[in-house]
Amino acid sequence: MAHRRTEQIPIVFILSIYSFSSLFLTLLLSFSIFETVISENAFSASHTASISIAAARDLRYLLYDVNPPEGFNLRRDVYIRMASLVKTLRKDGDDWVLVLPPWGRLYHWQSPNIHQIRIPWGEFFSLTSLQANVPVIEYEEFIAENGGPFIDQVLVLQNYAEGWTDGKWEEKVDERPCIEKMMYSKDKQGFYRGWFWGFEETRARNVTCISAQGHASIMAPVLQKNITVTSVMLDRAETLLHDHYAGKDYWDTRRSMVFAKHLRLIGDDFRAKYLNSSDDRDNTVYSEDWTRMKAKLGSAKGGPYLGVHLRRKDFIWGHREDVPSLKGAVKKMRSMMKKHKLDNVFVATDADGDELKELKKLLPEMVRFEPSPEDLELLKDGGVAIIDQWICAHARYFIGTSVSTFSFRIHEEREILGFDPKMTYNRFCGDTEKECEQPTHWKIIY
Ligand SMILES: Nc1nc2c(ncn2[C@@H]2O[C@H](COP(=O)(O)OP(=O)(O)OP(=O)(O)O)[C@@H](O)[C@H]2O)c(=O)[nH]1
Ligand SMILES: *[C@@H]1O[C@H](CO)[C@@H](O)[C@H](O)[C@H]1NC(C)=O
Ligand SMILES: *[C@@H]1O[C@H](CO)[C@@H](O)[C@H](O)[C@H]1NC(C)=O
Ligand SMILES: *[C@@H]1O[C@H](CO)[C@@H](O)[C@H](O)[C@H]1NC(C)=O
């Protein structure tokens, strides 16, 4: 996985090269919102006209999945790309709905004896908040609406076997033979079977491979023109890049990914009980309606504690030079606590048993969110990770781990709450790291 991270960096560069087309897309999007407003105002006047337009729009479903080894937080990033594609699809043409891929079977979710597949998005995120951005439904709702567990067409996305032609990067998409071994196989009735989030009855009517190179909306013409069936699933959706990383549409979708209320409440109770932190005192009052949430940069104060995300496991197995030893990390934490006059430190980490023991020895005063086995069964590893992120997001000062998507999602959450960037975009340096570049500040475009 450490491997994969290095692949992620150039994407940002590629995107900045393509920011012209993305800007164009953004302009198109804002234009279409303008249009919607007008047609709504005109609704009572031209009632019949509106209805006939609505009737002409067929209901279609976009499903997607991500490469199995990818973690929770990269998957949240792929959701943003897919939401952007659905917005493009809806602009001209059919009434597309995004079907949320159930959570489960994630490599990092290793708590034993708990059932962690077929988890609906509603357990982790607020569905009404997601729906205020783009139409989404849970997978089980799709089955019910669709009249059975059938997906008309699966498109397995892949790169081009030949790589970049003439060393030149261009956006393109073509139907091509599958490069890797197909993860779907035909059953006796001629349907395709495979991993559909643990829903064993689900079958696909057709599976083909598509080579795609470009931003998510590059798929729009293919889905609108080449394919006419009702439900289409994009597998390996992470192949597609962001339409416009950190642009308005990116942030709209990101802001709509409000954590489920019960998880936020558990995090808030924990802050009050163990960290003397409350929204009123800390200037982190949250609006249930994300469209109204527009905190000024620097307005959030945060609770009187240092928030830390210390990513271990696969990040230390590779002996990465940008990840500190536990000793090095604790030294940094102590110096930050002193600098910001904080007596408390909250640590979110995936460290294993031995490392945790060592960490407790080095930093006996640290506070962690440790659910009982019963609570873990209810919250699941994903819920615990979200609570950890929520508590880190409310700290006075935050420090994360180099190129961890878990830390990146905390940066975004703090940006939404309105923290001063100096208090957010910080990371640990490796013990012997020479140039310890700090994370980039991505400002919200409202
Ligand atoms: N509860 C909790 N879980 C963590 C923490 N750090 C990592 N994890 C777990 O490990 C997983 C790996 O991190 P993710 O960021 O989701 O996975 P990824 O997309 O591979 O991203 P990287 O962190 O960049 O590897 C998370 O989804 C969590 O399940 C932590 O501080 N607290
Ligand atoms: C889509 O259809 C066009 C026109 O028929 C064709 O040229 C193109 O190759 C098709 N693309 C894909 C990805 O099937
Ligand atoms: C499967 O999908 C491909 C690509 O859309 C199409 O060319 C082919 O005709 C489909 N096969 C069947 C049996 O529908
Ligand atoms: C909690 O914080 C408030 C002010 O922010 C302070 O007055 C109070 O003493 C603190 N309580 C504890 C137990 O530290």
Tens digit of each residue's pLDDT (9 = 90 or more) over 352-401 = 999 999 999 999 999 999 999 999 999 999 999 999 999 999 999 999 99
What spacing in Å lies between the alpha carbon of 288 and ligand 4's midpoint? 27
Same domain, yes or no, for 343 and 298?
A: yes
Q: Determine which residue's CA is closest to atom 3 belonging to ligand 1.
A: 385
Q: How far apart are the first and last CA of the chain?
A: 33
pLDDT value for 57: 83
Domain boundary among 209, 228, 248: 248
pLDDT value for 56: 66
Same domain, yes or no, for 241 and 280?
A: no
CA distances from 303 to 47, 184, 306, 331, 419 (A): 52, 49, 8, 21, 12
What spacing in Å lies between the alpha carbon of 273 and ligand 4's midpoint? 12
Is 175 considered catalytic here?
no
343 exposure class (CB count in 10 Å sphere: 0-12, 13-18, 19+) = exposed
Catalytic residue, from 70, 238, 412, 415: name it. 70
CA distances from 4 to 71, 132, 238, 426 (A): 11, 32, 11, 22
Q: Determine which residue's CA is closest to atom 8 belonging to ligand 3.
A: 206
For residue 125 and ligand 1, the question of a CB distance below 6 A is answered with no
Distance CA 269, CA 239 (A): 39
For the residues 31-54, what does the mean pLDDT come to? Answer: 39
Q: Give a yes or no: residue 18 inside a domain.
A: no
3-state secondary structure 39-61: HHHCCCCCHHHHHHHHHHCCEEE
Assess whether pLDDT exceeds 50 at residue 24: no
pLDDT value for 55: 54
Interval 236-286: pLDDT, tens: 999 999 999 999 999 999 999 999 999 999 999 999 999 999 999 999 999
Alpha helices in 234-317 (DSSP H): 248-256, 261-275, 279-282, 314-317
Q: Determine which residue's CA is closest to atom 24 belonging to ligand 1.
A: 404
Q: Give a yes or no: residue 253 inside a domain.
A: no
Which ligand is nearest to the Cα of residue 280, counting in written order? 4
Q: What is the CATH number of the domain that holds 349?
A: 3.40.50.11350
Work out the percent of the chain whose per-residue pLDDT is above 90.
80
Work out the percent of the chain whose per-residue pLDDT is above 70.
87
DSSP, res 370:
-
Assess whether pLDDT exceeds 70 at residue 26: no
For the residues 211-239, what does the mean pLDDT come to? Answer: 97
Q: Determine which residue's CA is closest to atom 9 belonging to ligand 2.
A: 174
Same domain, yes or no, for 210 and 268?
A: no
Q: Give a yes or no: residue 37 inside a domain.
A: no
Same domain, yes or no, for 305 and 379?
A: yes
What average pLDDT does the chain have? Answer: 88
Same domain, yes or no, for 273 and 218?
A: no
For residue 384 and ligand 1, the question of a CB distance below 6 A is answered with yes
Distance CA 243, CA 238 (A): 12
Assess whether pLDDT exceeds 60 at residue 431: yes
Residue 404 pLDDT level (bands cut at 50, 70, 90): very high
Domain boundary among 207, 228, 248: 248
Task: State the closest ligand 4 atom to the C-alpha of 343, by its place in the atom list counted from 1.
Answer: 14
Domain encompassing residue 398:
260-423
For residue 343 and ligand 2, the question of a CB distance below 6 A is answered with no
Distance CA 192, CA 151 (A): 10
Q: Give a yes or no: residue 95 inside a domain.
A: yes
For residue 409 and ligand 1, the question of a CB distance below 6 A is answered with no
What spacing in Å lies between the alpha carbon of 387 and ligand 1's midpoint? 12
Same domain, yes or no, for 108 and 241?
A: yes
Q: What angle do CA 306, 308, 312 make, to 5 degrees?
A: 160
Q: Who's near 216: CB < 8 A, 6+ residues apart?
A: 81, 82, 84, 85, 88, 240, 241, 242, 243
Same domain, yes or no, for 269 and 415?
A: yes
pLDDT value for 105: 82
Q: Give a yes or no: residue 143 inside a domain.
A: yes
Same domain, yes or no, for 237 and 278?
A: no
Identify the residues whose C-beta falls under 6 Å from ligand 4.
276, 281
For residue 228 and ligand 2, the question of a CB distance below 6 A is answered with no
Alpha-carbon Rg for the chain, nearest whole angstrom, is 23
Same domain, yes or no, for 133 and 180?
A: yes
- Mutation choice for ligand 3 from 208, 228, 230, CB with most ligand atoms inside 8 A: 208
Assess whether pLDDT exceeds 50 at residue 27: no
What spacing in Å lies between the alpha carbon of 409 and ligand 4's midpoint? 29
Residue 166 pLDDT level (bands cut at 50, 70, 90): confident
- Mutation choice for ligand 2 from 226, 232, 239, 240, CB with most ligand atoms inside 8 A: 226
Interval 97-138: pLDDT, tens: 999 999 988 888 877 778 899 999 999 999 999 999 999 999
Same domain, yes or no, for 219 and 283?
A: no
pLDDT value for 169: 84
What spacing in Å lies between the alpha carbon of 436 and ligand 1's midpoint? 22
Q: Who's near 355: CB < 8 A, 6+ residues apart?
A: 312, 326
Q: What is the CATH number of the domain that holds 185?
A: 3.40.50.11340
For residue 206 and ligand 3, the question of a CB distance below 6 A is answered with yes
Assess whether pLDDT exceeds 50 at residue 336: yes
> Domain total for the chain?
2
Q: Give a yes or no: residue 31 inside a domain.
A: no
Assess whether pLDDT exceeds 50 at residue 51: no
Distance CA 429, CA 120 (A): 37
Q: Determine which residue's CA is closest to atom 8 belonging to ligand 1.
A: 350
Domain boundary among 226, 248, 270: 248
Same domain, yes or no, for 106 and 133?
A: yes
Note the pTM of the prediction, 2 decimals. 0.88
Q: Give a yes or no: residue 51 inside a domain.
A: no
Residue 89 pLDDT level (bands cut at 50, 70, 90): very high
What spacing in Å lies between the alpha carbon of 206 and ligand 3's midpoint? 6
Same domain, yes or no, for 301 and 198?
A: no
pLDDT value for 13: 34
